[in-house]
Amino acid sequence: MAAEDPIKAVEHYAHALKAPRIRESAARLAEQARDSGWSHEEYLAAVLSREVAARESSGAATRIRCAGFPTRKSLEEFNFDHQPALGRDVVAHLGTGAFLAKAHNVVLLGPPGTGKTHLAIGLAIKAAQTGHRIAFATAVDWVGRLKAAHNAGRLPAELTKLRRIGLIVVDEVGYIPFEQDAANLFFQLVSSRYEHASLILTSNLPFARWGDVFGDQVVAAAMIDRIVHHAEVLTLKGSSYRLKDTGIDTLPSARADNTAQ
């Protein structure tokens, strides 16, 4: 078969390999290769690269679809003029995903509406695009998931499974205080990921008030210690972006939370 019509043979093999982009690009690139005098190796690399690029981008799309985001937000949509104290370069560097390779964390603190969730989603999407598995949920939802695993006697298995996800976003730490057992479960999540896999946490409360959220100053201190040991802590400031054009300056709760740092 190969001697008669090599392109037919390539199509056959590409089909057997479930590599449709090889099938699509083999003939087209062969022509280009002949015109431009590519070596055999250059041609082969060009054909294979089409398949790999397509797989990588469809992998990212799947990871983003399965992440559990409440909405899609990108770093490109973020208006840094509204957050003058926030370094664009710091956020851009986080967007490269370098922190994930080191299992470092990101903590986003600040009052409601200042873009914590937006940045967390934007960074997680970048992580997916650079090849990482991601999962997003609120702190309350993560605790619910851990509690269910604990009740079913499979907490260690659940924590091991979660450790294979390179980036977990825990949104809204502090909106609702935890019960003691929830605080312990959350502590286990943090310590099982420590120096193994990354977390992005968002909170409207400064670290000093996390003890109240977790109902236990000692657990909170031990947890914060592990989180911030290798972390970029970004503090967002100002009034809610949601109220930007409403003429309302500050939400009552935001005023109290403005001390987040």
**Closest alpha carbon to 118 in 208, 200, 233, 231:** 200
d(CA 116, CA 118): 5
Q: Tokens for 242?
A: 């949601």
Choose between 2 and 90: whose C-beta lies nearer to ligand ADP: 90
Q: State which of residues 58, 79, 259, 261 lies at the interface with ligand ADP (CB under 6 A).
A: 79
Nearest Cα neighbor of 190 from 148, 230, 223 is: 223
Q: Which amino acid is at 149?
A: A
Is residue 122 part of the contact set for ligand ADP (CB under 6 A)?
no
Using the rule CB under 6 A, give the single segment among 112-120, 157-165, 192-200, 245-253 that binds ligand ADP.
112-120
Query: Quick one: CA torsion of 179, 183, 186, 188, rounded to 10 degrees?
Result: -130
Residue 25's binding partner out of ligand ADP, Mg ion, none, with CB under 5 to 8 Å set by partner kind: none
Reference 156, options 182, 187, 192; nearest CA is 192
Does 138 bind Mg ion (CB under 5 A)? Our answer is: no
Which of 95, 112, 166, 174 binds ligand ADP (CB under 6 A)? It is 112
Q: How far is the CB of 70 from ligand ADP (least distance, A)?
A: 9
Q: Looking at beta carbons only, is 37 or 84 nearer to ligand ADP? A: 84
Selected from 14, 29, 99, 117, the binder of ligand ADP by CB under 6 A is 117
The tokens describing 194, both together, are 């420590």
Place of tokens 């947890």: 223
CA 178 to chain centre: 24
The one of ligand ADP, Mg ion, none whose footprint includes residue 259, by CB under 5 to 8 A per kind, is none
**Which residues in 222-241 contact ligand ADP (CB under 6 A)?**
241
* Distance in angstroms (rounded) separating the CA atoms of residues 203 and 247: 25
Q: Using CA atoms, how far apart are residues 84 and 79, in angstroms rounded to an integer? A: 9
Nearest residue by C-beta to Mg ion?
Answer: 117
| Residue 82 binding: pick among Mg ion, ligand ADP, none (C-beta 5-8 Å cut-off by kind) | ligand ADP
Contact (Cβ atoms closer than 8 angstroms) between residue 75 and residue 120: no
Alpha helix positions (H), 88-195: 88-95, 98-101, 116-129, 139-151, 155-163, 180-193
Question: Using CB distances below 5 to 8 A depending on partner kind, what does residue 95 bind out of Mg ion, ligand ADP, none?
Answer: none
- Which of 69, 78, 99, 187 binds ligand ADP (CB under 6 A)? It is 78
Q: Contacts with ligand ADP in 156-215 (CB under 6 A)?
A: 202
Determine contact, residues 137/169, Cβ cutoff 8 Å. Answer: yes
Pick out residues in 48-77 that bind ligand ADP (CB under 6 A): 73, 77
Q: Single out the residue of 117, 138, 203, 239 in contact with Mg ion (rule: CB under 5 A).
A: 117
Residues forming the site for ligand ADP (CB under 6 A): 73, 77-79, 82-83, 110, 112-118, 202, 241-242
